[in-house]
C-alpha cells in the first residue's frame, strides 16, 4: 500500500513539474512497450530475403513452336545470348520463357560453377535446391552439348523445373 501512495505522490509531483521525469512504474511500462516494439520489428524482419515465387503447375503452352526464341542473360561480366530450340523441346522452351517473363530468374546467380564443364543457374534460392513449385518431363533432341549449350539441370528423370546449365566445352551427351 505504501508503494501505491508513493507512486501517487510521484505522479502528482510529475504533473506539477510539467512532466520532466518519469515514475518507476512509468519506466517499466515504457521498457515493456519498447520490448514489444523491438520484438515486433524483429519478427517482421525475420527470414531475410522474401521467399521466391512458386507455382502449382507447369505453365500452359504459350509459345509458338514455329518461331525462333533467344534468351539474354545479363551478368556483371557481360551478356550471354542463347538460342532456344522451341520446335525441338517445346515444353522446356515454354517453361524457360514463362519463368523469364515472370521475372523468376531476376537476381539469381550461377550457384554451381565447375571449371572446364559448366555453370549452373536459375535457382532462386542460390543453393541448388530451389524449384518453381512443379516439375515437368524430360525432352530430348539431337542437339549435342557443344560449348555454350543450354540444358536443364535436374535431380533425376522428369524433375526439370527452373535450373539450367551452360557448358563451357563440348560434352559427350545429347540435350
C-alpha to C-alpha distances, 90 to 66, 82, 95, 96, 120, nearest whole angstrom: 10, 15, 8, 10, 21
For the chain, 175 residues long, give each residue's pLDDT as a single digit of tens: 555 555 555 555 555 555 554 455 544 454 445 544 444 444 444 455 566 789 999 999 999 999 999 999 999 999 999 999 999 999 999 999 999 999 999 999 999 999 999 999 999 999 999 999 999 999 998 888 889 999 999 999 999 999 999 999 998 765 4
User: How many CB atoms are located within 10 Å of the residue 89 CB?
Assistant: 21
Cα 107 → chain centroid? 8
User: Per-domain residue ranges for the chain?
Assistant: 2-45, 69-167
Does the domain made of 69-167 have the CATH classification 2.40.100.10?
A: yes
3-state SS string for the chain: CHHHHHHHHHHHHHHHCCCCCCCHHHHHHHHHHHHHHHHHHHHHHCCCCCCCCCCCCCCCCCCCCCCCEEEEEEECCEEEEEEECCCCCHHHHHHHHHHHHCCCCCCCCEEEEECCCEEEECCCCCCCCCCCCCCECCCCCCCECCCCCEEECCCCCCCECCCEEEECCCCCCEC
Amino acid at each position: 500500500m505504501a508503494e501505491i501512495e508513493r507512486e501517487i505522490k510521484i505522479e502528482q509531483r510529475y504533473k506539477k513539474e510539467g512532466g520532466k521525469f518519469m515514475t518507476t512504474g512509468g519506466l517499466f511500462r515504457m521498457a515493456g512497450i519498447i520490448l514489444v516494439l523491438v520484438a515486433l520489428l524483429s519478427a517482421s524482419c525475420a527470414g531475410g530475403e522474401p521467399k521466391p515465387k512458386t507455382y502449382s503447375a507447369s505453365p500452359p503452352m504459350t509459345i509458338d513452336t514455329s518461331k525462333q526464341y533467344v534468351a539474354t542473360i545479363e551478368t556483371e561480366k557481360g551478356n550471354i545470348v542463347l538460342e532456344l530450340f522451341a520446335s525441338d523441346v517445346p515444353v522446356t522452351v515454354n517453361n524457360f520463357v514463362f519463368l523469364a517473363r515472370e521475372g523468376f530468374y531476376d537476381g539469381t546467380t550461377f550457384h554451381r560453377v565447375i571449371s572446364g564443364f559448366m555453370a549452373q543457374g536459375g535457382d532462386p534460392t542460390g543453393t541448388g535446391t530451389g524449384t518453381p513449385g512443379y516439375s515437368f518431363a524430360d525432352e530430348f533432341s539431337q542437339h549435342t552439348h557443344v560449348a555454350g549449350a543450354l540444358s536443364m539441370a535436374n535431380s533425376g528423370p522428369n524433375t526439370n523445373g527452373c535450373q539450367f546449365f551452360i557448358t563451357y566445352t563440348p560434352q559427350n551427351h545429347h540435350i
